[in-house]
Structure 1
Amino acid sequence: MRTAALTPRTRDDALEALAASAEGKELDVLVIGGGVTGAGIALDAVTRGLRVAIVEGQDWASGTSSRSSKLVHGGLRYLQMLDFHLVHEALTERDLLLKKIAPHLVRPVSFLYPLEHRVWERAYVGTGIALYDTLASIAPGKRALPWHKHVSRAGMDRMFPDLRHDAAVGAVRYYDANVDDARLVTMLIRTAVSYGAHAASRTQVVELTKRATGVVNGAVVVDLETGREITVRADQVINATGVWTEETEALADTDGGLHVLASKGIHIVVPRERIRGEVGLILQTEKSVLFVIPWSRYWIIGTTDTPWKQALQHPVATAADIDYVIEHANAVLASPLTRDDVIGTWAGLRPLLQPGTKEGTSSAKVSREHTVASPTPGLTVIAGGKLTTYRVMAKDAVDFAIGERAATLPSITDRIPLAGAEGHAVLQRQARRISADHGWSRAMVDHLLHRYGSLLMDLIDLVDADPSLGRPLAGAPA
């Protein structure tokens, strides 16, 4: 394995590999799109032994993949739709991330599901969440998270003092997980690079090239840092550009492909001390659900679901969006929030697949959440899905792209830890010693382990060489 670092040097090397692909060193797979799906595809493909490159027009995870609810979960709402397979699949992926793939990045988080009715709702919701936990238990091995528990009103008051006393008669406490979504994408890219993938951000695809037969055989990309234009040759091109799916399809000059609409979801951020509670909340709304999520020194509250037809690069949280979230949160909070409590917002765009595919699309593989299709030979398109199931999406996309070869080159990403995962458990046990050796608080060490995992040792080497790097910035919590 190579170094897992992403540096100007590794980017330059990637650009040279792209150029070399047109001079006899053709790629097996060129991935377009540096969100969680594209990053997952790059890792999946390179660990099958394929020659792989991934390009992103902006920064890694600069789109939807850094603007999610930051949850890794099965999706309770899908149980209401009786989509047991989808829930089981997502819960299996959640537990893989917690136990094997990214235990340093993905952490448990518990939620209260407040109950308004003492008898029938407790039975109804309790049965649903019990099924949710049971679907997670079908996978082999030890459970990754505790079973749900029923909570009395007194217990609810202890766990979430700022829950309005008349808002619920009790609750069900259950567990899911959260993750720094942008960090997950970065670690996916770093891991793919460590296995030999070439990764170049700030590299814009401006054309999809074709052979005389009409088969897509690569792309023309532009290095946005220098303006250099590079012709890339690849046996297969995979479009994983999310809400930009149709724009990327159009570069192949084909009428086929997937229909994708952008749906905006926003979140607000309030200081942790503003709401007294040690767990999260999940609240039913007239449209979907609203999460109140503990996140370090803050609360994240969201989300919404509204159409977005303006610039895809710059979705914004409007005053109406913010008021909607505040209003629904205030329905259960003892001390109502105001706009003055909001210290930050973000808006992301979900790529919502529309029924069917465009005329001319030769074949498609469809699940409830994502679709893989080929609008023209040599080009594979994947869209839809969610953060939690990125690995399944990546597997499906690569299987589809390489066709019959998938039987002899199966995906193995369910057994590949991301950079920083191996050795993480050992460093957790050494956290007290690391804290004492460097004069860092235990909270700081835990924070660094959560972000870096075993790669913390690289950071410690830098601090040992220059102790000033280990001092907290002025005003930052130690």
Structure 2
Amino acid sequence: MRGFFRMGFNMARKQPLRSWAVPLALSAATGLSYSVYAETQQQNQQHSSSSVVNLNPIKHSSAEPLIKLKTRQDHLADIQKTEEYDIIVIGGGCNGAGVFLEAANRGLKCLLVEGGDFAAATSSKSTKLIHGGIRYLQEVFEFSLKGGRIEKYNLVKEALRERTHFIENAYYMNRQIPFVVPTTNLIMGIYYYIGVLVYHGIYRYYLDSDKSSFRMKMPQWYGGRQLREYFPHLDHKYKYGIVYYDGQFNDTRMNLDILLTGTQHNYNENFQEGNILNYAEVTQLIKDQKTGENKGIVFKDKINGKDISVKGKCIVNCTGAFADNIRKMDDPSCQKRILAVAGSHMTMPASFCSRKHALVIPETQDGRILFLVPWQNHAVVGTTERALDEPELDPTVSAQELIFMSEEVGKIYSNLPSSEITNNINSKWAGLRPLILQNQKEGEPIDTKKIARTHVIEVSKNGLVSLMGGKWTVYRCMGEETVDKILEIFKQKGIKYNENAAKKSSLNLRLLGEANQNANYKFPPKNQYVKIYASALADKHQIEYKEAKYLIKNYGQRAFDILNLAENHTKKDYLKQRVHPNHPILKAEILYHLKYEMAQQPIDVLFRRTRFGFIDRKGMFESLKTVCDIFADELKWDEAKKQKVIEQQKEIMRKMDF
């Protein structure tokens, strides 16, 4: 606590009034907020009659984590001794995670298996947006659109409703962000402004106002001066900027928090903790010899090489772009339903975008929308669309796509030479969108931008439930609808389940990174959560505020567990150092990923538990040895084993071509 005020008064002694007054006020205010928070937490613990425990991460100092998480070995042991699961989910991306958490919240015993690492495919390669889809709304009003207007409108409506809960249920990690649509003349400005007003109006009309206190801000209108202030490279031909608000998130960290929440014991009333396992590839569906009905799965544990059989009352296929593979495993005669579309992105230095505003290029040369979004102290540019004949686990970004994105950036930043744009591409990646084919004839050309990003729940004759399509923003409601369908099947078959638990809603189910699982929890306010906890974390563990803020925004309250792990370790000072000087990622995180987040190899850390591979390819290779050093120390590798792993990981990273 003394650190907050000490910082302020030291600044006051050394600097003139004008330079220290604001930081001093902020420091004192944050310190006061922290004091009030600690007192409020104490009162909550004394007076709360709720079955939910009010957690105080600031006071916890033990090496034993406040949020207890099972290891991979713990999950494997549970799987082998569980006679039968209610639900077995295949696929550990956003669709699978949504079904898994929904099942746990509604009292169903669930197992989720993933052939690679969690969110290793499409779910880690999004544009990092929580959005309703303003392009889809624009298409609703296009005269050239032949049918599908209601479907696209419903897609926007559903996503805008879910956007609120998505942000609020993990507000330590997610945020709303202003998007600026630049325009050259007043008429187009009015056109775009009316469009974003309609977009905001749909959100307000369908808002669950009685279930959420979070509100998105109203659209705004910027003049040329404000445009230049936020985007100094923007061509001066743009006179106005239309501002609307959508959400932003860190996709893989969100995916992990959803999964880890579903593994918690007694998280809320009637909550049924589940099991998760990565690097567990499904090789066979176990069928009833007489009826052909699915009764379980066989998976290969890629870590120990063993084949393991598991029984389940319902098997759910959530494998995204690879859904047809599992469908054909169930029924070889089934028709193709998935069109895999690659969406490419590139990452540039933060100077190419505003730090607090995203920029929208409303119409590119191929008639799409392109975003420039601030993310992880960098600028993300995307996305393109390229249909693939067959899905790929790690699709590459073509030279043509890089040229396309660079040219589009060059059009709005016309004062920058093209070489300055192309020479500042730090990283690139492509993810697959699984679009649902409906009534398309074989060989018929397909315009991918005309296919709605809707989702479909299919039940095969053998009882396989396949959740296909959709997008990140609606992961929760897709999980809800899928579990509704499963319960309907259970009812038809006379399978018993806890009917009271099955009625529960996940609309306000907070993820485990929040300081309290209770939806009625009011302090600290959402807009001060990161500031208060980051200040407390920095003061308690004597790390930079920037590092503390990064930890809180990525782990929520679990950031305290990460640094408590370091404080109680024999290499305390080493673990509190950065992995790379240019990034706020600490070595303690790598140890935490190994112990509690089921990381099995360095690329799991470099691409998913941190985002090195997506923001700084050069920094990723420079950090590989440090990450392997921590793996070697924890897993007791000798020098020969460590060097072998380093070379193997380098080869994997080169092949991935990020």
Same fold (TM over 0.5): yes
- SS of residue matched to 1:376: coil
Aligned letter for 1:246?
A: D
Does 2:439 correspond to 1:350?
no
Q: 1:3 to 1:19 in 2, by over 3 A?
A: farther
Rg (Cα) greater in structure: 2
Deviations 1:150-196 (A, max 9, x none): 11122211221111111x22110121111110111111111111141
Aligned letter for 1:125?
A: Y
**How well do the aligned residues superpose, as a CA RMSD in angstroms?**
2.4
Q: 1:123 to 1:46 in 2, by over 3 A?
A: same
Deviations 1:94-113 (A, max 9, x none): 111222x1101112221110
Of the three residues 236, 253, 258, the one matched with 1:188 is: 258
Q: What is the distance in 2 between the residues matched to 1:53 and 1:4? A: 20
Return the offset for 1:436.
3.0
Return the offset for 1:255.
2.3
Q: 2:513 maps to which residue?
A: 420
- How many residues are aligned here? 462
Q: 1:209 to 1:473 in 2, by over 3 A?
A: closer
Aligned letter for 1:19?
A: Q
Q: 1:124 to 1:343 in 2, by over 3 A?
A: same
Q: What is the distance in 1 between the residues matched to 2:567 and 2:105? A: 34
Does 2:169 correspond to 1:86?
no
Q: 2:199 maps to which residue?
A: 132
Q: 1:435 to 1:115 in 2, by over 3 A?
A: same
Q: 1:364 maps to which residue?
A: none
Does 2:132 correspond to 1:74?
yes
Of the three residues 169, 178, 182, the one matched with 2:248 is: 178
Asked whether the 8 Å contact 1:14–1:53 carries over to 2, the reply is no
Q: What is the distance in 1 between the residues matched to 2:579 and 2:78? A: 39
Q: 2:108 maps to which residue?
A: 50
Of the three residues 171, 177, 182, the one matched with 1:114 is: 182
Deviations 1:374-429 (A, max 9, x none): 12232100110001001111111111122166876135221211111234946642
Does 2:335 correspond to 1:335?
no
Return the offset for 1:114.
0.9
Q: 1:317 maps to which residue?
A: 397
Asked whether the 8 Å contact 1:209–1:252 carries over to 2, the reply is no
**420-429 or 441-450, which deviates more:** 420-429
More helix per residue: 1 or 2? 2
Return the offset for 1:276.
6.1
Does 2:94 correspond to 1:11?
no
- SS of residue matched to 1:402: helix
Q: 2:171 maps to which residue?
A: 103
1:163-174 superposed matches below 5 A: 163-166=234-237, 168-174=238-244
Of the three residues 453, 472, 475, the one matched with 2:578 is: 472
Asked whether the 8 Å contact 1:117–1:169 carries over to 2, the reply is yes
Aligned letter for 1:87?
A: V
- SS of residue matched to 2:341: strand
Q: 1:379 maps to which residue?
A: 464
Q: What is the distance in 1 between the residues matched to 2:199 and 2:412? A: 24
Q: 1:265 maps to which residue?
A: 343
Q: 1:374 to 1:128 in 2, by over 3 A?
A: same
Does 2:350 correspond to 1:289?
no
Q: 1:430 to 1:260 in 2, by over 3 A?
A: closer
Q: Could you list the runs of 5+ residues in structure 1 that have no partner in the other structure?
A: 359-366
Q: 1:477 to 1:343 in 2, by over 3 A?
A: closer
Asked whether the 8 Å contact 2:177–2:356 carries over to 1, the reply is no
More strand per residue: 1 or 2? 1
Does 2:338 correspond to 1:255?
no
Q: What is the distance in 2 between the residues matched to 1:442 and 1:200? A: 35
Of the three residues 255, 278, 287, the one matched with 1:210 is: 287
Asked whether the 8 Å contact 2:533–2:552 carries over to 1, the reply is no
Of the three residues 337, 346, 369, the one matched with 2:454 is: 369
Q: What is the distance in 2 between the residues matched to 1:111 and 1:16? A: 47
Q: What is the distance in 2 between the residues matched to 1:291 and 1:401? A: 38
Q: What is the distance in 1 between the residues matched to 2:119 and 2:399? A: 26
Q: 1:194 to 1:15 in 2, by over 3 A?
A: same
Asked whether the 8 Å contact 1:258–1:356 carries over to 2, the reply is no
Asked whether the 8 Å contact 2:118–2:278 carries over to 1, the reply is yes
Return the offset for 1:265.
0.5
Does 2:374 correspond to 1:299?
no
Q: What is the distance in 2 between the residues matched to 1:19 and 1:257? A: 34
Return the offset for 1:3.
7.8
Deviations 1:419-443 (A, max 9, x none): 1123494664243343233332222
Q: 1:361 maps to which residue?
A: none
Q: What is the distance in 1 between the residues matched to 2:424 and 2:530? A: 37
Q: 1:422 to 1:404 in 2, by over 3 A?
A: farther
- SS of residue matched to 2:118: coil
Q: 1:123 maps to which residue?
A: 190
Return the offset for 1:477.
4.3
Moved over 6 A (4+): none
Asked whether the 8 Å contact 1:3–1:194 carries over to 2, the reply is no
Asked whether the 8 Å contact 1:4–1:193 carries over to 2, the reply is no
Q: What is the distance in 2 between the residues matched to 1:41 and 1:20? A: 23
Identity over aligned pairs, percent: 27
Q: What is the distance in 2 between the residues matched to 1:204 and 1:193? A: 20
Aligned letter for 1:450?
A: K
Q: What is the distance in 1 between the residues matched to 2:400 and 2:505? A: 45
Aligned letter for 1:341?
A: N
Q: What is the distance in 2 between the residues matched to 1:419 and 1:213? A: 41
Q: What is the distance in 2 between the residues matched to 1:398 and 1:19? A: 24
Deviations 1:33-56 (A, max 9, x none): 000110111110111111110000
Does 2:296 correspond to 1:238?
no
**219-228 or 304-313, which deviates more:** 304-313
Q: 1:454 maps to which residue?
A: 557
Q: What is the distance in 1 between the residues matched to 2:532 and 2:356? A: 24
Return the offset for 1:124.
1.6
Q: 1:378 to 1:311 in 2, by over 3 A?
A: closer
**404-413 or 443-452, which deviates more:** 404-413
Asked whether the 8 Å contact 2:113–2:280 carries over to 1, the reply is yes
Aligned letter for 1:95?
A: T
Asked whether the 8 Å contact 2:353–2:359 carries over to 1, the reply is no
Q: Could you list the runs of 5+ residues in structure 2 that have no partner in the other structure?
A: 1-51, 53-64, 141-151, 266-272, 442-451, 492-498, 517-522, 585-658
Aligned letter for 2:559?
A: L
Asked whether the 8 Å contact 1:28–1:52 carries over to 2, the reply is yes
- SS of residue matched to 2:92: coil
Aligned letter for 1:378?
A: G
Return the offset for 1:6.
5.4
Return the offset for 1:91.
1.5
Of the three residues 515, 535, 539, the one matched with 1:436 is: 539
Q: 1:380 to 1:404 in 2, by over 3 A?
A: closer
Return the offset for 1:88.
2.3
Q: 1:442 to 1:43 in 2, by over 3 A?
A: same
Q: 2:628 maps to which residue?
A: none
